[in-house]
Homo-oligomer: A and B are copies of this chain.
Amino acid sequence: MKDVAARAGVGLKTVSRVVNGEAGVTPDTERRVQEAIEALGFRRNDSARVLRKGRTASIGLVLEDLADPFYGPLSRAVEEVARAHGALLINGSSAEDPEREQELALALCARRVDGLIVIPAGTDHRYLEPEMRAGIATVFVDRPAGRIDADAVLSDSFGGARAGAAHLIAHGHRRIGFIGDQPRIHTAVERLRGYRAAMEDAGLVVDDAWVSLGSTEPARVREATAAMLGGPNPVTAILAGNNRVTVTAVRELAARERPVAFVGFDDIELADLLGITVIAQDAAALGRTAAERLFRRLDGFDDDASRTVLETVLIPRGSGELPPAP
């Protein structure tokens, strides 16, 4: 910038004015500055700008895995809102590892992102308190924060799972299995609660062998499926606790001869063609809502932390309407 000023024969501040489109520069001067900029291939260094202005015009998003089809649309929705506010998005995948989540979140804070959106892997977010006090707005999505008070935007996991299980019960099932994510994860627990609530509503007693929480690794899900279907008291229907479980369970059930009713949590591509009944949540709406809340905070809005819960929708497509196999 100094070089540009020298070459254009003007002061530093004039160049700054031109670069930032501020008023108060004669067209002639402006032209000279523009020429110098072109000639030198000058591009403003935003790092320096940030240092001076205090705002980075960027926000951070910590999620579990960008490669998961649930998080892609969520991230994209966040990006769109950020873009509308002139901000860039830095994302990081925690790989469902609490330590990595913390490391990432703090790295983003060190970069002085203006705000942070977190899909937590861990259950204790007190490490973010100093950062939040220091002014980094933080919103949690998909799962609430642990041990701190912070905004959260969630799907109605409890209600969705309850509706899914109730749907299977309405179609005649009495022995229903639930395969969910790790019990450390809030949504997994909520969905299990929803399943239990529906069973209880119908006066059904849940056999321990029908419930399996754990990793979403295909091998684990396959085992869980086999166990539920093969035991002394086999289930006639299965409710899956998230999109990864759904995919593996669907594959597993397709390989069996006896039909098993099935409801998945999260819609997945081509589930329509396969006739898979699902409880759909709107990943993009989650991201959008969280980002909007974040930017409202960045715009100075400052009331208490709030929790927003988005509805889920049960989409019947066939698999959830199968009667119990004899």
Contact = CB atoms under 8 A, between A and B. Distances in A.
B88 A89 contact: no
Nearest to A78: B66
Nearest to A49: B110
Interface string A60-104: 000001111101110111010001000011111100000000000
Nearest to A109: B43
Contacts of A130: 41, 43
Contact of A67 (B46, B89, B284): B284
A251 to B, nearest CB: 6
B133 A47 contact: no
Contacts of A305: none
Contact of A43 (B134, B251, B284): B134
Interface in A93-140: 93, 106-112, 130-131, 133-134
A5 interface: no
A44 interface: yes
A91 B59 CA distance: 11
Given A66-B66, A270-B271, A76 B93 contact: yes
Interface stretch (A50-58, A147-155, A198-206): A50-58
A71 B68 CA distance: 10
A61 to B, nearest CB: 10
A47 B58 contact: no
Interface string A249-285: 0110010000000000000111111100000000010
A247 interface: yes
Given A269-B269, A270-B268, A272-B251, A45 B110 contact: yes
A219 interface: no
A76 B69 contact: no
A23 interface: no
B93 A91 contact: no
Interface residue SS majority, chain A: helix
Contact of A79 (B46, B77, B92): B92
A284 B66 CA distance: 11
Interface string A219-243: 0000000000000000000000000
A136 to B, nearest CB: 10
* Most B CB within 10 A of own CB, among A67, A91, A269: A67
A88 B107 contact: yes
Given A270-B268, A270-B270, A44 B110 contact: yes
Nearest to A82: B92
Contacts of A69: 69, 72, 269
Interface of A: 41, 43-48, 50-51, 56, 58, 65-69, 71-73, 75-77, 79, 83, 88-93, 106-112, 130-131, 133-134, 247, 250-251, 254, 268-274, 284
18 contacts: A41-B130, A41-B133, A43-B106, A43-B109, A43-B130, A44-B110, A47-B47, A47-B56, A66-B73, A66-B79, A67-B73, A71-B72, A72-B72, A79-B92, A88-B90, A89-B91, A89-B92, A91-B91
